[in-house]
Structure 1
Amino acid sequence: MSKQTRTSRPGRTGVFLLTAACGLMAGLPAHAAETATQEVQRLRAQLEAQMKVSQAIQARLDALEAREAADAKAQAETKVQAEQVAAQAATQAKTIAKLEASSGDNGSFTMAGGRPTFTAFGGKGTLQIGLQAQFDAAAYFEDNASVKRSGVDLGDGVNARRIRIPFVFRYGDVTATVTPDFGGSPDGRQNTQYLYEANLAYMPFKGFTAALGYLQPNISLQDAPSSNDFMFMERPAIMDVERNIAAGDARAAVGARYYQDRFFVSGFLTGQAYGGQSTTTATSSIGSTGSVTTAISTTQPSNGQQTGAVMRVAGRPVYGEDYDVHLGFSGSKVFSMNQNDSNRLAQNLALSVQPELRVDTSKLINTGSMPATGVYTWNPEVGLRYQNFLVQAEYVEIGINRQHQAGAGLGGASQTPDLTFQGAYVDASWVLTGEPRLYQSARGGFGGLKVAHPFNPETNDWGALELAARYSDINLNSHVQRFLAQSVTGGVAGGQQDVIQVGLNWYPNDHLKFMADYQIVDVSKLSGATLQNQTGLRYQAVGFRAQVAY
């Protein structure tokens, strides 16, 4: 065979190796190949499942982001809407204010605080009309022996104690008040109209008031609250006597008062009370209660009018939500007397007082006429409230200055010494339904209570209920010795009165009040040429009052 035509072929050895490899490959187990394929498929399935989970998570994230975007948009829209509503409300408020002001120019009517109120002058002027009406009834149970000794038999009956209709006109910082009183003691004062107040007040800033006219100057803790807010039907007797010397109702006065949360101060220059200038009757009342009278001669006119001053400093140095501690001091001084005695040198002054009810008008203690060249009073005051319990007390001293005349008295002493009278009281209130008697800084004392649950049987509400107790004493004796004539000592035997009483007050709401008082009264008085006779009176009394006030 020729070398040029021979092709290249594998050798025997190469053929053998190729054959062996193919045999070996053909000899591998079949299940090993299948396992690898399944593993690949399993892994591929897991990957697909994981991809689906990832896609689901991503979808949830996308939804949350979309929701947050929607919430943010909603919040923004809501904020815009709120701003628009607020702007509309402000515009409406301005419109309402303009309408009210424009309507006030022509007059408008409301019931502010339960009082008919007319508004005019662009809202700067208001006229309020109020009402206070108190109707009393009482019965007296006397000791027969003392009735015989005293010759006084108190009569049961009724009395319109106060019927006041205040007209209050305000314009800016100026207030004009006129209040007639158709009640009294006795009611109507013998059917004559009586003026309770008529004055002008200027209030340029909060807490300060300057006043001029017939008004009630501030004196004593008992004189601080309105008569609508009394614990009992009347003030303690000693307080009525003191207030009517230079203060009291319808007193001609000019002065000012100023208060803050912790203190109250007032001072007034005072003159005669309304009607006190009359010279046509034998005696004329200086005060509304008739507790101080001036004997006036029908033939000897008075030489000038009484002039005095009244001051009061009070406050609550310690107070909190549940408690108030009150301290104060009041005083008055008459330094220019209404000189109406026969020598026109002194004022014929008499101190007297009715019992602490005003149905029977008898005055069981009375100094009689005393020529006086000057009068003064002073009294400390204290009060304490803890939650719905209140206790307060005052002491009063009244001094009478007289012309001194040497005579044949004891040891050649003066027959007309200066006189001193005194009295005191302590009273307490416990509001059974829990309402407190709140402190009134503007008055410098404790006021009434705010009924928490007005009377309504459908809701089982019965208003407020208050239990009160008081002891009061007044002594109109000075330089007195039994079995010794007053001409010898120069003293005055006006008598002494002690009253123990308890009261129950029901407040159906803030405008109605019903009172029931029970009193034990002991009046001790000496009479006769040498004060040898005991002509006092002992009795018990029950009194009732129905009151409405707006």
Structure 2
Amino acid sequence: MIRARPAPTFLAATLACIAPARAGDAFEGMAGPYGERLRYDEKGLSLTFPEPDVSLQIGGRLHIDAGGALFSRPGLPEAFPDHVAVRRSWIEPTLTIGRDWLIAFQYDFSDPVLPINDAFVAWKGLPDTIVTLGNMKVPLSLEWLQSNNDTLFVERSGANALVPERRFGVAVGRNGQAWTAVAGVFANAASNGIAGDGVAVGGRATVAPILEERETLHLGLAVIDRRRSRSDGAFSFSAPAGSALFERQLVDTGDLPDAARVTRLGAEFAYRRGPFLLQAEYIRAALQPFAGPGMATSVLGFQGGYVEAAWVLNGEGRGYTRAPQGGTTYATFKGVAVAEGQRVSRGGTGVFELAARYSAIDLDTRGFRGGLEQDVTLGLSWYPEPNLRLIANYVHGRVRPGDAQSETYGTAPFSVDTIIGRLQIYW
């Protein structure tokens, strides 16, 4: 049974956009009365006007997950309420006006809680500078800033639980030959009405001491500091073990209504040489409660990190991009490219990628028990076409549940083995 179903119009658009990739042909219409042209290919549908210089690109993505999980301890509840679910069903129109303006919007039909993803206006009127206003990713974590189309595994690491979701704000980014810097001010998510989670200030800086066509060394630092009032909603951290199909989070702090200030620090490392990629991050979050009259506050510290590696078996390695079209996603690694002769529709075998990861998140601190989780993930991805990917992951997780999960999972440690697959279509 599928938990969430995309709208029929979205499915129709999905099937329409993958058809050219399978048929291997693109279509470009004749110029209209104003010089406009309609193009239809594996990247989706685009409409361009030469005067004025305007183009509309309609993209999207559809991620469908299927899998199962087995707990080591008997008596625990069923892991997955549904073994097949739509993870994402996005429609993504992007309007480009001349060289200086870009308007981007992403809507997820499968997410009733936070359906709005990117929704911003970007201005690029200054050299190597982007000013963005709207809903966007907060600039923290290389893994988070990378597109979910291009991450090495079905899900990001457990450490990603310490990274905030997209927020509404304003950000300014710049990039040089081998460096990037972006900073901004952020409120709550657009889907939540912007207000209700305080105000955050933060930024991220990266440098690439080695930046060549087949070799890249990436280093990055980021900090996000959020101040909250007593009227803001409850705060929490939680993480599943490698799959969004889990009905309940495996480690969870529960609601932390007394969070006055949350400061996150992140350190990044990545090295790419040809088809090989090594990537690692460490993230720490410090939560400071509100101080009562004459009372000292005790800061709660949570931490997480991962180390992962990938090897493209029969293709080029992942490219490195310094600047986005808009938003805060500077200095990230792109997805795997499929050469024309490697496409299954051209008689090829596609491109294969192997990956492995160790990740950990620790939500225990100063007598507070939110839980500890450590995961080892093995992954295989197959790219038969440029806009089609099939992923298979095996995740072995070791969990020590916290107090908020004790009624569900008890207090004794246990392990969980998960097999998860994904059909991923994107254009």
| 1:27-38 matches, cutoff 5 A | none
The 3 A distance-change label for structure 1 pair 406 and 201 is: closer
Of the candidates 250, 258, 261, which is equivalent to residue 364 of structure 1?
A: 250
Match of 2:155, SS?
coil
Q: Does 1:126 align with 2:52?
A: no
Q: Which residue of 2 aligns with 1:541?
A: 418
Q: Distance in 1 between matches of 2:345 and 2:101?
A: 44
Q: Which residue of 2 aligns with 1:21?
A: none
Q: Distance in 2 between matches of 1:257 and 1:417?
A: 35
Q: Distance in 1 between matches of 2:411 and 2:422?
A: 33
Q: CA deviation at 1:471?
A: 0.3
Q: Distance in 2 between matches of 1:473 and 1:193?
A: 26
Q: Does 1:467 align with 2:354?
A: yes
Q: Which residue of 1 aligns with 2:272?
A: 385
Q: Which residue of 2 aligns with 1:204?
A: 125
Q: Does 1:435 align with 2:316?
A: yes
AA matched with 1:493: R
Q: 2:372 touches 2:402 (CA, 8 Å); kept in 1?
A: no
Q: 2:91 touches 2:108 (CA, 8 Å); kept in 1?
A: yes
Deviation per CA, 1:91-110, whole angstroms, max 9, x where unpaired?
xxxxxxxxx99857353212
The 3 A distance-change label for structure 1 pair 171 and 255 is: same
Q: CA deviation at 1:167?
A: 1.0
Q: After alignment, is 513-522 or 429-438 more displaced?
A: 429-438
AA matched with 2:105: V
Deviation per CA, 1:221-255, whole angstroms, max 9, x where unpaired?
1123211111001111212x2321xxx23x11111
Of the candidates 388, 391, 399, which is equivalent to residue 523 of structure 1?
A: 399
Q: 1:157 touches 1:360 (CA, 8 Å); kept in 2?
A: no
Figure out how many residues of one structure are paired with residues of the other and give that number: 386
Q: CA deviation at 1:112?
A: 6.8
Q: Which residue of 2 aligns with 1:114?
A: 43
Match of 1:348, SS?
coil
Q: 2:315 touches 2:338 (CA, 8 Å); kept in 1?
A: no
Q: CA deviation at 1:525?
A: 2.3
Match of 2:163, SS?
helix
Deviation per CA, 1:127-164, whole angstroms, max 9, x where unpaired?
1100111110110011134xx3xx43302511111111
Q: Does 1:170 align with 2:58?
A: no
Q: Which residue of 2 aligns with 1:269?
A: 185
Q: Does 1:500 align with 2:376?
A: yes
Q: Which residue of 2 aligns with 1:243?
A: 163
Q: Which residue of 1 aligns with 2:327?
A: none
Q: Distance in 2 between matches of 1:211 and 1:542?
A: 39
Q: Does 1:329 align with 2:225?
A: no
Q: Which runs of 5+ in 1 are unaligned?
A: 1-99, 279-301, 341-345, 408-412, 481-491
Q: Distance in 1 between matches of 2:385 and 2:337?
A: 8
Q: Does 1:339 align with 2:230?
A: yes
The 3 A distance-change label for structure 1 pair 501 and 404 is: same
Q: Distance in 1 between matches of 2:42 and 2:208?
A: 27
Q: Distance in 1 between matches of 2:360 and 2:156?
A: 12
Q: 2:183 touches 2:204 (CA, 8 Å); kept in 1?
A: yes
Q: Which residue of 2 aligns with 1:139?
A: 68
Q: Which residue of 1 aligns with 2:343?
A: 455
Bigger fraction of residues in strand: 2
Q: Distance in 2 between matches of 1:193 and 1:325?
A: 35
The one of the two structures with greater contact order (alpha-carbon pairs below 8 A, sep at least 6) is: 2
Structure whose alpha-carbon radius of gyration is higher: 1
AA matched with 1:270: F
Q: TM-score, normalised by structure 1?
A: 0.66
Q: Distance in 2 between matches of 1:104 and 1:242?
A: 52
Q: Which residue of 2 aligns with 1:258?
A: 174
Q: Which residue of 2 aligns with 1:426?
A: 307
The 3 A distance-change label for structure 1 pair 347 and 180 is: closer
Q: Distance in 1 between matches of 2:346 and 2:233?
A: 61
Q: Which runs of 5+ in 2 are unaligned?
A: 1-28, 324-329
Bigger fraction of residues in helix: 1
The 3 A distance-change label for structure 1 pair 451 and 260 is: farther
Deviation per CA, 1:471-517, whole angstroms, max 9, x where unpaired?
0000001112xxxxxxxxxxx21000111010000001211100000
The 3 A distance-change label for structure 1 pair 350 and 225 is: closer
Aligned CA-pair RMSD: 2.7
Match of 1:400, SS?
strand
Match of 2:201, SS?
strand
| 1:91-102 matches, cutoff 5 A | none
Q: CA deviation at 1:356?
A: 1.8
The 3 A distance-change label for structure 1 pair 548 and 102 is: closer
Q: 2:370 touches 2:403 (CA, 8 Å); kept in 1?
A: no
Q: TM-score, normalised by structure 2?
A: 0.83
Q: CA deviation at 1:324?
A: 0.7
Q: Which residue of 2 aligns with 1:160?
A: 86
The 3 A distance-change label for structure 1 pair 363 and 434 is: same
Match of 2:34, SS?
helix
Q: 1:162 touches 1:181 (CA, 8 Å); kept in 2?
A: yes
Runs of 4+ more than 6 Å apart: none
